[in-house]
Amino acid sequence: MKKGILAVVSGFSGAGKGSLMRELLQRHGEQYALSISATTRPPREGEEHGREYFFVSKEEFERMIEEEALIEYACYVGNYYGTPKEYVLEQMEAGRDVILEIEIQGALKVKERFPDALLLFVTPPSAGELEKRLRGRGTETDEVILCRLKRAAEEAEFMEDYDYILVNDNLEVCASEMHALIQSQHLRTGSSQEWIARIREELCRF
């Protein structure tokens, strides 16, 4: 059986990453596993342990760091966030494609450690559309929106470090593109090493 692909998804706040993941999992739930991050930040209302995040104490998190149980971790605004390793490797071994939705800093660390990881950057079709989506939520002050847009400008500097850019204009189209893209990576020469070795051996018999 072929090993799963490790796909890392980042993108501007407001790019629609969450909806995209949900759409993908709804359509092809048997093919994908969504990695759940561990964090030391307290759960917000409606968040569940093991669904949005694994909520752990600072001590637990630091033990995970020591035991090298995390693929990557980072500290934001005084809280740790990280990707537990075991689940990701298990799912990949089982042939499932694992999706990590993480920040750029973490994504680049994953790529260093797993050069075969597929780095996807999700963006709305324009800065105007990004602003519109952020305002459309209706839950944030002008100040927070401006802060997110400035952050997006900073994040845009890292787009070239990603392998592919997914423009999320239409959710369904974008989910189809993402699925086709990830599935086509199973055909990469690097993913076919065993297969190549086998046909070479067979051909040698002639």
Tokens representing residue 146 in the block: 């401006």
Which is closer to a copy of itself, CB of 74 or CB of 167?
Answer: 167
Which is closer to a copy of itself, CB of 45 or CB of 160?
Answer: 160
Which is closer to a copy of itself, CB of 57 or CB of 189?
Answer: 189
Interface mask toward a copy of itself for 109-138; x: CB under 8 A: ------------x-x--xxx-xx-------
Of 80, 82, 155, 89, give the one whose Cα is nearest residue 123.
155
Q: Is 194 in the site for a copy of itself (CB under 8 A)?
A: no
Closest distance to a copy of itself from the beta carbon of 172 (Å): 16
Which is closer to a copy of itself, CB of 31 or CB of 192?
Answer: 192
Which of residues 163, 168, 169, 171 is near a copy of itself by CB under 8 A?
163
Closest distance to a copy of itself from the beta carbon of 110 (Å): 16
Which of residues 19, 79, 170, 184 is near a copy of itself by CB under 8 A?
184
Query: Where does residue 10 rank: exposed (0-12), middle (13-18), buried (19+ CB within 10 A)?
Result: buried
Residues 191 and 185: beta-carbon distance below 8 Å: yes
What is the number of alpha carbons within 13 Å of residue 80 lying toward its C-beta?
Answer: 21
End-to-end CA distance of the chain: 27
Which is closer to a copy of itself, CB of 44 or CB of 200?
Answer: 200
Query: Residues 6 or more apart from 87 whose CB is under 8 A from it?
Result: 33, 35, 36
Query: Where does residue 204 rank: exposed (0-12), middle (13-18), buried (19+ CB within 10 A)?
Result: exposed
Side chain identity, residue 135: R
List interacting residues with a copy of itself (CB under 8 A). 121, 123, 126-128, 130-131, 146, 149-150, 152-153, 156-157, 159-160, 162-167, 177, 180-181, 183-184, 187-189, 192, 195-196, 199-200, 202-206
